[in-house]
Amino acid sequence: MMTMMTTSIKWQNMENNIMILLFSLLIPSSASSTGTSSMKPKLIPYFDSTLSQAASFIAHRGSTAVLHRFFPPRPGINKILWFLYADNITTTKCGFKVMAASSYSLQSGKAKPQQLAVYSSPPQVFLGSFVEHQMYCHLLCGVRNLEAIDAIRTPYAVGLVKAFGLLESKWEQLCDDLECGFPSIEVSDVAMREDVIKALGGPQLELSNRIRLICRGNNDNWGGIVYRLWPNIRYIRCVCTGSMMQYYPKLKYYAGEVPIVGGDYFASECCVGINLDIMQPPETTRFVILPTAAYFEFLPFNMNEESNDAADETVDLSSVEVGKMYEVVVTTYRGLYRYRLGDVVKVVGFYNKSPEVEFVMRAPKTHAEILTEKDLVSAIENFQLAVRGAMMKIEIVEFASFLDQESQPKQMKVFAEVQEESDFMEDKLEESTMILKRCISSLESGFGALYKVEKDKGQVGNLVVFILRPGAFDKLYEVAIRNGTPASQYKPPKIIRNHEIVTLLQKYSFVTLNDI
């Protein structure tokens, strides 16, 4: 009996190993998502079939054609300062490789030489092991090639705000490194150091002095620094819609007169739509759905006083109605079947027969959620205006919310990180706290119908606002990267669903406000 059982287990293990081998042949890797709200990315099978390659190729060619219509290629001025980070390849217990979808071509070795030649940074900077050092080396190589830089790019606006913030704090070190011809000793990745040293081409004293003059002349005003450092640049490109709209004013401050052009609607799961008018600001950006990129369905989405749930039945591409909102559902060439992307879009028109959509927000995850990303962003804008109206020098640089469903009644918590130069950082703590308490009503008034209904029923208690020290959300960024979130694809969470994140943020709270 024991022999038969042992033989059965051996056969079962062999069958499992065969299945794993077959899957590893069909699916060479998994793409990791942003992991925005949970700080742990989900894994998306990356089945690189002929059909999926063709669909992706058509989408990217279309995107490039639109870009070249506005900005035709220029010989000699053709470098892109691309803040992209390939991250480390990890392996699951079953042997599947995991990497960011945006870095697949770099990690897989499929990037073509002509593609790599366009980047101002050498390959090892993209493949480096520490994000801040990679960002620094991107900047160093970018200023080394300042006359040849045609554009600056990154997947999301928050990545460029971080990069320009690093430029503000490290410009003297950048000049020193240019002067001596090699990167700071802090950059410890040997392969990256060697590649950067080659790219610098020896000491650049004249260039170093030129950049010192530019940066010293700022008088702490970094507005328009992009054009002053890169005189031949024509555009900056990144996604500024959705939750990234928050970073657009800061990015515009750095960019000055340099246009910020919109990105496309490309998800880790598949390409969804392209932006045909890339010069539009984020609030009017629309995407044309690509009917050949996947099979698209749309789940009607209603935001009213009773629920924010999607309907039960989907409609196809030709049945959507202008003015209505939908959650996007895709069946992809890479094997995802009727997969809910979690994105809510609004149909605003048609281009030929394909819908044009605006990105609205991320969809609620559960029936219990009573606050959307869109509501939260609007509420914080109201709060910031009220604070300014009270003549307080307080700038909110990052924020998120959490619905504590374990407390009785439920309680909404909002976390707001303030800028270092804010009044809170000076000797006005008690006065600032009193004024902010009077502004809480302006914050809560923007929370939307669902929250108000629950509050009126007594199912939600008093709102609590935690004012966080500068740098608090950077700690979330570090945790997310350690947990496998691709650095290029990181988006700070707006709706938190993880108690660990709440605990971490509360450690950086120095003032707690409530609406009592």
Cβ–Cβ under 8 Å, residues 305 and 456 = no
Highest mean pLDDT, choosing among 92-96, 216-220, 369-373: 369-373
Identify the residue whose tokens are 């997969």. 339
Report pLDDT for 64.
92
Out of 104-113, 324-333, 445-454, least confident range:
104-113
Computed on alpha carbons and rounded to an integer, the radius of gyration of the chain in Å comes to: 25
- The per-residue pLDDT for range 379-406, each reduced to its tens digit, is 999 888 888 887 677 788 899 999 988 8
For strands 287-289 and 271-274, give the pairing.
Answer: antiparallel
Residue with tokens 């992809």: 332
Residue 53 to residue 332: CA distance in whole angstroms? 12
Cα separation, 212 vs 208, whole angstroms: 6
Which residue, 428, 422, 424, 405, is CA-closest to 502? 405
How confident is the model at residue 424, as a pLDDT?
61
Q: Give residue 19's pLDDT band: very low, low, confident or very high (50, 70, 90).
A: very low
**Hey, which of 299-308, 431-440, 498-507 has the most confident mean pLDDT?**
498-507
Residue 77, Cα to own-chain centre: how many angstroms?
28
Q: Nearest 10 degrees: CA dihedral of 46, 59, 246, 305?
A: -80
**Structure-block tokens of residue 44:** 């998306």
Three-state DSSP at 107 gives helix
What's the gap between Cα 398 and its chain centre? Answer: 13
Confidence of residue 295 (pLDDT cuts 50, 70, 90): very high
Can you list the alpha helix ranges (DSSP code H) found in 268-397?
373-389
CA gap 40, 481 in Å, rounded: 9
The alpha carbon of residue 167 and the mean position of all alpha carbons in its chain are separated, in whole angstroms, by 20
- Give 3-state DSSP helix, strand, coil % of the chain, rounded to 5: 40, 20, 35
Give the dihedral sign, CA 66/71/72/74: negative
Q: What are phi and psi of 73, to 5 degrees?
A: -55, 145
The distance between the two most distant Cα atoms of the chain, rounded to a whole number of Å, is 86
Angstrom distance (rounded) from CA 174 to CA 184: 8
Question: Who's near 309: CB < 8 A, 6+ residues apart?
Answer: 302, 364, 367
**Predicted pLDDT of residue 414:** 93
The alpha carbon dihedral of 188, 190, 191, 193 has a sign of: positive
Average pLDDT over residues 506-511: 88
What is the distance between the alpha carbons of residues 332 and 295, in angstroms, rounded to a whole number?
6
Task: Give me the mean pLDDT over the 69-73 stretch.
Answer: 93
Give CA 220 to chain center in angstroms: 27
pLDDT tier at 26 (50, 70, 90 boundaries)? very low
Pairing of strands 97-100, 29-32: parallel
Backbone angles phi, psi at 81, to 5 degrees: -85, 100
- Please, what is the average pLDDT of the chain? 83
> Does 231 or 14 have the greater pLDDT score?
231
Contacts 24+ apart (CB under 8 A), 45-54: 45/334, 45/335, 45/336, 46/101, 46/104, 46/334, 47/333, 47/334, 47/335, 48/334, 49/333, 49/334, 51/333, 52/332, 52/333, 52/334
Each residue's pLDDT tens digit, 218-274: 777 899 999 999 999 999 999 998 888 889 999 999 999 999 999 899 888 889 999
Q: What are 153-200's pLDDT values in tens digits? A: 998 999 999 999 999 999 999 999 999 998 988 888 899 999 999 999
First to last CA, the chain: 71
> What does the alpha-carbon distance between residue 324 and residue 300 come to, in Å, rounded to a whole number?
8
Q: Is the peptide bond before 122 cis (omega within 30 degrees of 0)?
A: no
Q: Note the pLDDT of residue 81.
A: 95
Whether residue 441 is predicted with pLDDT greater than 70 in this model: the reply is yes
Give residue 367's pLDDT band: very low, low, confident or very high (50, 70, 90): confident
Q: What is the mean pLDDT of residues 12-21?
A: 39
Q: For a pLDDT cut of 90, what percent of the chain falls above it?
A: 41
3-state secondary structure of 489: helix
Determine how many CB atoms are found less than 10 A away from the CB of residue 243: 23
Domain boundaries, the chain: 71-233, 286-362, 373-514
Angle at 28 between CA 24 and CA 34, to 5 degrees: 120
The conformation of residue 364, written as its DSSP 8-state character, comes to P
